[in-house]
Amino acid sequence: MASMVGDVGNDALRLGYRILLTALGAGVVFGRGLFQLASRLVPSLGPSASGGRHHTGRVRERVTAAQQAARASGLLARRGR
C-alpha cells in the first residue's frame, strides 16, 4: 500500500512538471505572438527599417572598388563603350 501511494505521488509530480512545462511553452509562444502583433502596430517597437543606413557609404565604396577592380581585370566593360 505504501509503494502504491509513492507511485501515485511520483506520477502526480511528473504530471505537474508536464503541465508546468506545457504552460511555460504556451506562454512563450503567446508572448512572442503578442510582441510581433505589437511591433506591427507600433513601428517604434519593431526592428528599425533604417537600421542599416549608416553603412550605406561603406557599401557604396566597396561596390565602386569592386567595379573598378573588375574593369581593371577586363571582366567588366569600361564605361562609355
Residue 9 pLDDT: 79
| Structure-block grid coordinates of residue 14 | 511528473
Number of domains present in the structure of the chain: 1
Sequence-distant (6+) residues with CB within 8 A of 45 are 35, 38, 39
Q: Domain for residue 13, yes or no?
A: yes
* For residues 18-44, average pLDDT: 89
Indicate whether 1 pLDDT > 60: no
Q: Are 45 and 38 in contact (CB under 8 A)?
A: yes
Rg of the chain on CA atoms, in Å? 30
Q: Domain for residue 65, yes or no?
A: no
Distance CA 6, CA 14 (A): 12
Q: Are 39 and 46 in contact (CB under 8 A)?
A: yes
Of 18-27, 39-48, 70-79, give the range with the top mean pLDDT. Answer: 18-27
Percent of the chain residues topping a pLDDT of 90: 22
Q: Domain for residue 12, yes or no?
A: yes
pTM confidence score: 0.43
7: containing domain: 1-40
Mean pLDDT over the full length of the chain? 80
